[in-house]
Amino acid sequence: MDGFKPQKLVKLDGRVGEGGGQLVRIAVSLAALTGTPLRIDHVRGNRGDGKRGGGLKAQHASCVRYLADATAAEVTGCYVGSKSIEFKPTTTLANLVNRNIRIKAESAASILLVFQSMLPFLLFCGDDSGSPITATIQGGTNVRFSLSFEYFDQVLAPALERFGVKIDRKLDSRGWSLGATNVGSATFRFVPLTPGQTLKAPVWPVERGEITEIDITILVPADTIEAFKKALVFRIDQVLPGVGTNYHLVEDSRHRTRIYTLLVAHTSTGLRFGCDWLYDRKATGKTPDDIATEVAEKVVAKLDAEVQKGGLVDEYLQDQLVVFQALAEGSSSIPGNSEALSSEGNQVDRTDEPFGDGSQHTTTARWVTSQLLPHTKWIDKGRICKGAGWKAL
């Protein structure tokens, strides 16, 4: 799609589907990209008044401010806690001046969620000379309810390469939301599409294949590392016997409450399935062996459940790829379970509410992209996406 710019204000309700921060991130990024005026009411309205609360969080406000600056957008409601936001871009993205971006998110807000919000927009900000864009973001790399740097590095970034998007990434320093708040930094560098180019539909395997090996990432206090190694390997051998393991990263987290583990299963067809846990339970009265066993049982069970679903992607990766499928040129199919994988339906999906197979995050992401990229077509409960073929201007 070349130069499509809807003039009608798009209104979204943050109480629809998994209407959390993901809705804000996708919607504002696509509004900036397409020049679409946008209003979101009841921001994160399904979060209630509990600890996760409602309204914009720090990472959402950070990405909205950047996208507003990049498009000279008229914005109202861009502050932490805001329950509604209006975003009206007034310039195109054809001539992005600043290609060395620096963002400091508030506190330990998630670096990866900020970058995810910016990426669909920045991918189409190329120039004729192929100048790279570098984004250095300060905030948290391991944050509750958020993508970790390790998952991005080991699962999401390799998946994006199937779309032709290669991102160099570097962890400058780690930032945690647990323990004493610690602000970290990460740097991302990539070459955006040149004018006239489109994202290519991903070449995705049609079969999952066999699990060939599992990469293990352990970020825990130094004196618990050996307990975690023993517990994870033991549990993997119990649940997935015969599968080899590899310690991809083992690191001292330097705090008793900072406990993070990621398992990445590799398949014979080149797919990756990731499952992780940033430990969020009380550790009082528990030995290192107790906690290691608890973590091992949970992450291995989660990984096994993803494998048993028989799809081609884990549920976290599936929802993060939706926006790229919607923007790409051509058809793509990345089903999350065996039922969708074997389906032969061809009915065009209704897009007036979240739809299709997958988690609520996935169905909501499809709905949001459909509102802002109406030339995208989803077929057979989201199994097939015929992308808009958006072109860099």
| Structural domain contains residue 314 | no
CATH number of the domain at 26, please: 3.65.10.20
One domain for residues 114 and 54: no
Do residues 190 and 165 touch, judged by C-beta distance below 8 A?
A: yes
One domain for residues 215 and 299: yes
Read off the tokens for 235. Answer: 């549990």
One domain for residues 99 and 193: yes
Read off the tokens for 244. Answer: 């080899």
One domain for residues 68 and 134: no
One domain for residues 99 and 192: yes
| Structural domain contains residue 205 | no
- The last residue of one of the domains, among 72, 92, 112, is 92
Domain carrying residue 355:
326-393
| Structural domain contains residue 282 | yes
| pLDDT, position 61 | 87
Count of domains for the chain: 4
| Structural domain contains residue 347 | yes
Look up residue 149 and give its DSSP letter: H
CATH number of the domain at 286, please: 3.30.360.20
One domain for residues 6 and 22: yes
| Structural domain contains residue 204 | no
**Is residue 202 packed enough to be buried (19+ CB in 10 Å), middle (13-18) or exposed (0-12)?**
buried
One domain for residues 304 and 337: no
One domain for residues 73 and 104: no
CA 29, 33, 38 angle in degrees (round to 5)?
A: 65
| pLDDT, position 96 | 65
- What does the alpha-carbon distance between residue 237 and residue 379 come to, in Å, rounded to a whole number? 39
| pLDDT, position 8 | 87
One domain for residues 185 and 115: yes
What number of CA atoms fall less than 13 Å from residue 229's CA on the CB side? Answer: 13
| Structural domain contains residue 206 | no
- What does the alpha-carbon distance between residue 118 and residue 29 come to, in Å, rounded to a whole number? 6
Query: pLDDT averaged over consecutive 10-residue blocks of the chain (393 residues)?
Result: 62 82 91 94 71 75 89 92 92 70 83 93 91 95 93 98 97 90 93 93 94 98 97 97 97 95 98 97 92 98 96 96 97 95 94 93 95 96 96 82
| Structural domain contains residue 390 | yes
One domain for residues 227 and 282: yes
| pLDDT, position 97 | 65
Residue with tokens 């379970």: 337
- The last residue of one of the domains, among 73, 92, 111, is 92
- What does the alpha-carbon distance between residue 231 and residue 250 come to, in Å, rounded to a whole number? 14
Q: How many CB atoms lie within 10 A of CB 67?
A: 25
One domain for residues 134 and 53: no
| Structural domain contains residue 87 | yes
Which among 117, 125, 200 has a CA at the least distance from the CA of 164? 200
- The last residue of one of the domains, among 66, 92, 118, is 92
| pLDDT, position 178 | 85
